[in-house]
Amino acid sequence: MPSWSAETLSQTRVKANPVSPVRVRQGDLFYFSVRVGPRATSVQGELRHRTIPFFKAEAPGQFRALIGVDLADPPSREDLRVEVSKDDGSVEQRHYTVEVLPVHFATQELTVPKNYVDLDEETAKRAEEEQEKILQSLSKVTAQKFWEGRFIMPVEGKIAGTFGLRRIMNGEPRSPHSGEDINAPKGTEVHATNEGVVVLVGDFFFSGKSIVLDHGLGLFTMYFHLDEVDVAEGERIHKGVVLGKVGATGRATGPHLHWGMRIDGARVNPLSVLNLE
Ligand SMILES: [Zn+2]
């Protein structure tokens, strides 16, 4: 793996019931609870055009949502709109403020052989189709919530601190690194970070042998560059089960796990979920 400097990632403990305005860093996640009373049947939110499904909390009369801020969302004060639907057919609108705080993501400048970035037509087409397939798998929101309690680390290894890294190859800006890399020897077991369903298994040009897990309510985790995949599409997965083994398949400079997380379309730092309960 190339070496680079990266900002220390957020270790902020996010309160379960934040008060408006909620302060959250680019690429972070937070739980948000609303008190709705006994007549509420469903709750839905919207933040920066992302639809946010709420679920019934354990506390009576409350709904809760796990909300993400994309790593490229600009620092600003955002309106979190919440709609509470009630059993008499009425809908109550509420507004909360979310303040997005800036993160100074490191920049990595690389000079690589021209053919490394300029793919031939066939490969470019393949990579594009695969990217579309991955995005498709991340776009189907399951109404059921599978995840429960705390998330766990998928692998034992060294965290590279590469989430949000701005990559510049041969002077041209590329898309930011939207996951976290964990360096571990080839063959190290990779575990499911929470309850979910396998929605994609593939062997792709960029991400190599890959798995996408759907944790329900718009939350997904991704496991890339695997040496071996031990699960199949459609399988219901329990927290901690072995999904596969660490490898260096696809475009990787050495064995590591690329762990990615998306929620309602927002690319978030998977490490930030570990602080939540
Ligand atoms: Zn990566």
From the CA of 124, how far away is ligand 1's center (Å)? Answer: 19
Percent of the chain clearing pLDDT 70 (strictly above): 93
What does pLDDT average to over the chain? 91
For 203-255, the pLDDT digits (tens) are: 999 999 999 999 999 999 999 999 999 999 999 999 999 999 999 999 998 99
Give the separation between CA 50 and CA 92, rounded to whole angstroms: 19
pLDDT of residue 275: 83
pLDDT of residue 12: 38
From the CA of 81, how far away is ligand 1's center (Å)? Answer: 33
From the CA of 95, how far away is ligand 1's center (Å)? Answer: 36
From the CA of 177, how far away is ligand 1's center (Å)? Answer: 6
From the CA of 109, how far away is ligand 1's center (Å)? Answer: 15
pTM above 0.75, yes or no: yes
16 has pLDDT over 60: no
Protein residues near ligand 1, an ion, with CB under 5 A: 179, 181, 258
From the CA of 258, how far away is ligand 1's center (Å)? Answer: 4
For 116-168, the pLDDT digits (tens) are: 778 899 999 999 999 999 999 999 999 999 999 999 999 999 999 999 999 99
From the CA of 252, how far away is ligand 1's center (Å)? Answer: 8
From the CA of 256, how far away is ligand 1's center (Å)? Answer: 8
- Domains of the chain and CATH, by start: 22-101 (2.60.40.10), 107-275 (2.70.70.10)
